[in-house]
Amino acid sequence: MLRRVTQGLGWVTGLAAVGSAAPIPGAPFTDLAVLQRDRVVPVWGTANPGERIRVSFRQVTADTTTGTDGTWRVNLPPLVPGPASDLVIAGETAVTLHDVVVGDVWLISGQSNAEWPLSKSDATDSAALSTLAPWLRTLRVPHRVANEDESRIGAHWSLGTSPGVQDISAVGFCFVQHLYPQGGIPIGLIQVAYGGTVIEAWLSPRALQQAPTGPAALQRWNEVLTRWPAAEASWLAAKETWTRSKADAERTGSRFVLSPPRAPIGPGHASQVSGLHHGMIAPLLPSALKGVIWYQGESNVGRPEEYAGLLAALIADWRSGFEQEDLPLLLVQLPNYSDPRDAWWKLRDAQAQVARETPGCHLAVTIDLGASRDKHPRNKDEVGRRLALLARRHVFHESVEAEAPSVVSAVREGPRVRLQFLPANPLLRLRPAAPASISFELAGSDGIFHPATARLTDRGVTVESPEVSEPSTVRYLQHNDPQPILFAATGLPVAPFQQRTTAPSGHAKPES
């Protein structure tokens, strides 16, 4: 006889009641789940080997038989939004997931700025929360480093009306708020982020091995593992000394202010190559998604020359894993930040390069939104708005201005350089430059850059410097913490660039 189990508080509740005989849904499938509309929806899980499985949702059913490894999968046909329904997974017993809806599912991933909570940003707006919350459902994947692909995440979907919505990604929440201001359909936001992490941790082993700069990352990690036994022993000894010193201070009433020694990087650390892919991404594959937001790079600024290859590999890896070769990727370019390492602007260039060269990948420029002394700028609302503009233009194909015009050539006119844009003849605005700030620069054949002045003319933007009579290269905002001064009429900033100059009849593509 078929036994039926309802899942009042998620899949764990139901499974505990029936034991190992119950079909176990895959990680994204719990009560309150959001299924992606207008796209084939994979549903998967585990059960007894050879067990017949039927998945039912609304009037649709799909059947399969569990393999010898106990795994099963079906594909539901494209669905349309409608009333919440039960998703029933039936084998020898049945598991019922309640209040499952169809809408748009977005995944946001990266490091701390991706997971920075709404409660700590400048975007907290009770009116907006009350307007959006009924339409929003969230799934926060807990931090987990693993050595092999995991199938569970230990989390379930939550309603946007729950108190926990204040802990959801501020960028993700603001993105949804601006993209779906009137609600209308359910929205699922999956947060898969971990502060302080490098991109190598998010790549699968196969993708790392195939990436142009992947072998270097693998070699560095192998060196970490080689040093680990000695580093761990030293740390444990230092920790023991610290513990004794703290106990002595407490016994004598002395003031003790020393922090405990920090554990060295080693096995299980968040920087472990592929560790976050195994523990946080793999359990979600191959979920049907509307798109992905990637906000990461701060932890990779020490090696900006490697980043473009790793980011391109990540995009290809995720598109393959989620089985969506056209999966939209929205990248947040790093904002301005004062760092003694001359590398933030180089990593921004790497992000821009990948966005230019990868179809379906689009870049939200935030060079004007950073905080010089804080890696966590609080204005997440504007970041979310710019991402939403990109989605409206490139995912939903609305006729909106989502990006500022981009420089496509720099024409020499004597000692001046005239910038040409795409689209042509754009409406631009120049903001006053602060004293001693550097925005535009020119270099001659010697390659030495000098501050330059920009002017708006009826032919666009001209740049000149009294120290460069024959300019060969023009660049804009190629510093860690520059001052943006050139904006579209919409207020969006023109992206940082570097461009070789050409004769009046020439034409060149931007270099970065």
Question: pLDDT at residue 374 above 80?
Answer: yes
Give the DSSP per-residue string, 457-492. ETTEEEEEBTTBSS--EEEES-SSS----EEETTSP
Rounded mean pLDDT, 106-112: 98
How far apart are the C-alpha atoms of 442 and 466, rounded to whole Å? Answer: 10
Torsion 502-504-507-510 (CA) sign = positive
pLDDT band at 21 (very low <50, low <70, confident <90, very high): low
Pairing of strands 136-140, 440-443: unpaired
* C-beta of residue 405 within 8 angstroms of C-beta of residue 426: yes
Window from 5-19, 250-264, 421-435 with minimum mean pLDDT? 5-19
Question: Nearest CA to 277 among 306, 329, 313?
Answer: 313
pLDDT at residue 11 greater than cutoff 80 = no
pLDDT of 35-82, one tens digit each?
Answer: 999 999 999 999 999 999 999 999 999 999 999 999 999 999 999 999
Boundary of a domain, candidates 224, 240, 272: 272
Q: Is residue 432 part of a domain?
A: yes
Q: Cα(103)–Cα(120) distance, rounded to whole angstroms?
A: 28
Is residue 6 over pLDDT 50?
Answer: no
Question: Average per-residue pLDDT in the chain?
Answer: 92
- Using CA atoms, how far apart are residues 489 and 504, in angstroms rounded to an integer? 27
- Do strands 52-57 and 60-65 pair parallel, antiparallel, or not at all (unpaired)? antiparallel
How confident is the model at residue 7, as a pLDDT? 45
Banded pLDDT at 19 (limits 50, 70, 90): very low
Residue 410 is assigned to a structural domain of this protein: yes
Q: Which residues have C-beta within 8 Å of that of residue 464, sequence separation ≥ 6?
A: 415, 416, 417, 442, 452, 453, 471
Q: Which residues of 321-357 are buried (b: 16+ CB within 10 A; e: fewer)?
A: bbebeebbbbbbbbbbbebeeebbbbbbbbbbbbbee
What pLDDT does residue 161 have?
85
Residue 479, domain member (yes or no): yes
Residue 256 has pLDDT above 60, yes or no: yes
pLDDT of residue 17: 36
Q: How far is the CA of 235 from the CAs of 225, 240, 266, 267, in angstroms?
A: 15, 9, 12, 14
State whether residue 330 is helix, strand or coil. Answer: strand
User: How far apart, in whole angstroms, are the C-alpha atoms of residue 293 and residue 363?
Assistant: 10
**Considering the domain boundaries, does residue 116 fall inside one?**
no
Residue 441 pairs in a beta bridge with 451, 475
Residues 309/333, Cβ–Cβ less than 8 Å: no
Does residue 490 form part of some domain?
yes
SS (H, E, C) 245-276: HHHHHHHHCCCCCCCCCCCCCCCCCCCCCCHH
State what percent of residues in the chain have pLDDT above 90.
85
Domain boundary among the residues 256, 272, 288 is at 272
Note whether residue 478 is domain-resident.
Answer: yes
Domain residues for the domain of 486 are 406-502
For 438, the token pair is: 């550097």
Cα–Cα distance for residue pair 138/43, rounded to 1 Å: 18
Domains contained in the chain, number: 2
Query: Of 272, 293, 309, which marks where a domain is finished?
Result: 272
pLDDT digits (tens, 9 = 90+) for 452-499: 999 998 878 999 999 999 999 999 999 999 999 999 999 999 999 999
**pLDDT tier at 411, thresholds 50, 70, 90:** very high
3-class secondary-structure state, position 110: strand
Residue 42 covered by a domain: no
Question: From the DSSP assignment, how many helices (H) and strands (E) are in the chain?
Answer: 10, 24
Within a domain: residue 227?
yes
Strand locations in 82-202 (E): 85-90, 93-110, 136-140, 158-159, 187-193
| CB-CB neighbours of 252 under 10 Å | 8
Helices marked H in 58-192 — which ranges? 112-115, 126-132, 170-179
Token pair in block for residue 236: 């444990």
186: exposed, middle or buried (C-beta count within 10 Å: 0-12, 13-18, 19+)? buried
